[in-house]
Structure 1
Amino acid sequence: MIEDKLREIYGIDKFGKNVPEWAEEVKYEFVDYFMGEKLHDAKVWISEYLRVLEEIKERLKINGVLYSKEMKSFLDDPRRHLVKKLFIYYHDLIRGRITVEDFIKKGKQAITSSFNSNMRSIYQSWGLFSLLLLLSERGYVLIYPEHRYIDLDRNGKQKSGIIPPNVVVGNVFNSFSFFLEAPRPISWEDGKDLEKVWKFYSLVRPDMLIYEGIEVDIVDFNGDIPIKRPHYIVEFKELENWWKRWRYLKDYKPLSGNEWRARWLKGLYEGLAEVLGVKEKELPSFSEGETKRVKEYKVIELYKAIYRPKKGMVISRVSVDSTVKEDLGEGIILVDDVRFDYNKLKDIVNELTYTNSVENVDIRELAYKFALSKRDEFMAWLKSQGISLSL
């Protein structure tokens, strides 16, 4: 039993310096014990994701994909990644700072949370690339990023005060800008800045925003939300029976710069006190906002009411009860039982592209784009007509 092995490890070195090799292997056994079957699922999901990634690389001539450190580690080796999440707790167990029971509780929470978060990221990324693949079949090409490396890591991207897209694709008719896990807070320096950007902290965040046209920055403080209104919002649902779950949404009250700093210092002190094993001194208390409980499948309606897009879209990996579909509000498209079949997302792409009719096309603009794409031939033709022109 894994619990017996953990008891052998408990307190074997009060400084945690001299740890035998066999003790390190117990971390792997712990992960296997609690996550064995799920690790198999992870390998299947990663395989499906990489398959569509290779297709889209070829179609859109993408050079590569940039990941967060967390996601890259999970994609490389899910088992090893989860073992890393046990490091601090395991070291505390070796030093005798926490009990076996505490380690099991905290360790299980850590690996489960990391596993679920990464599986969600994988399905979101698969969904994004599947939509791009379907659009590429309709003649859409990569417009942004110019270096042709799609960045899926949004951490730190807002330090410059802007929110850029992950990817933009287009054809001669129109284009679409995709934003995964946006909006997120942009940088600020003092209380005045914080007052301006606070809406980002309190704004609920859909899985993906889609804009018609090329949008290189969606920050906009002129409206009641701090970004330009998206044309579509998308939620990805990867879990079994997800519609039976509840979402807890917290109401964040505005903070001053001073209170923000005080909260940060309190958290820092509490963390250090736990690590060093010292008793906390008297610390300030803060009032917290209220928490609302919302049915998971109703969250898309909340997002739609706040962002007011043309349509809200839900992409569900599994089949959904018919009562849920009937209960969803107007203007929401739910595509279920998708699994990893990107062709089942054609209804989503049809919705995005249905306005691309010939009546909406500026023929002169098309002719100009064609001339630029065949620049040398066009210049030669102009010369044959006795026209001298520089482009």
Structure 2
Amino acid sequence: MSGLLVGEVVRSAAGAAPHRPAVVFGGRVLTFAALDAAADRAAGHLAACGVRRGDRVVWPSAGAPVESLQVYAGAARAGAVLVPLGPDAWSARVVRAAAPRLVLTDAGRAAEGARFAAAARARHAVLADGDAPAPRAASPDTTDRNDTTGRTDRTDRTGRTDSASRPERPERTWDPAEKDPHLVLFAGPCRPHGVVLSHRASVLRAHCGGRPEVPGALVCGFPAGHWGLWTAVLRQWQARGTVVLPEAPGPGAICAAVREHRATRLVCPPEVWWQVLDTAPHHLATLRSADTETAAGAAPPRLIEAIRTATPAARVRAFLSTPEAGDVAALDHADVRARPGSCGVPAPGVAVRVAGGELWVRGPLLFDGYLRDKEATDAVLRDGWFRTGRAARLDGDGHLHLTDR
């Protein structure tokens, strides 16, 4: 791999296991070789729409899960910054806040996408057949953009590009560097800031050495738009594993996916785990790894016991994670019963401290800052430490406890 680049994770997996399924969604199966080719096509066609290295591309991630992963890999390879918006964040206000060069949608959201793009003074394109975005409208000539440090640059948007004249693979001069931003996460319409992640932070968050995985298929139980989805997918791809996407929202589809694909791994936030356990816990017998991940605090001991009962052969783990910091702490299988109420010990490579009763986090997994908001960024990033705003304490064995909830 040439640097810690998201697009290279897919290329490396395609070279090592080209015929292994990378994504399964209902009857659709995309091998790593096919995903790699789709990423190249998406990157080339984003360039045909006028997207250049560092430009932001908004994409509504609900309703087209396979296409979402193709756009994710393709945008990263082209050096673009993807802004995936779940159903709660897909709005004209959030699109304007993202200040994109391009709003990319599927055909079903074309009308909304064109309207939101016009409000944001951006171009709009539809992801056409063959995964090629087709330009729909030109934007105004120029726009002012602010990066996370508050600097302003002007982006020329006057040129139109003929997609037939562009290469399928993006030009080498547009290849990203690992420190470049590649993802902006908005949690919803009420979250005021977009969390900016670099290639390096995303790849390190997904590094299998930090969270060793059992072989087999992963069913991803994060709802569309949840920030944990992207790390879970990239982690599985780094392990050359298959991601199974439930065919519909809800616990029934998750249980069906585990059963039909004999999945060995399931990762969900706590609220989804409760729904899964109430729906069809007998379908979880094949699991060998059961993870819960939340930013709210320690996983409820009653939930941990319910997961252990439903998945007797599985390694059960609970993670404290945030969009800004990635995995902060992990409560591993051996401690989930012995340490009720604990968030676990700091994740590998992560330093934590409690300053004035507040949890601070430092390490290579941190975000770059809040999109176009230097004041908010400076308020939470101090000398390499992220101030979480959460009250916490560390016990004598180094286990982290949140005390504000």
TM-score, normalised relative to structure 1: 0.28
TM-score of the superposed pair, with normalisation by structure 2: 0.27
- Whichever of the two has the greater Rg, that structure is 1
More helix by share: 1
Structure with the larger strand share: 2
Larger relative contact order (CA 8 Å, sep ≥ 6): 2
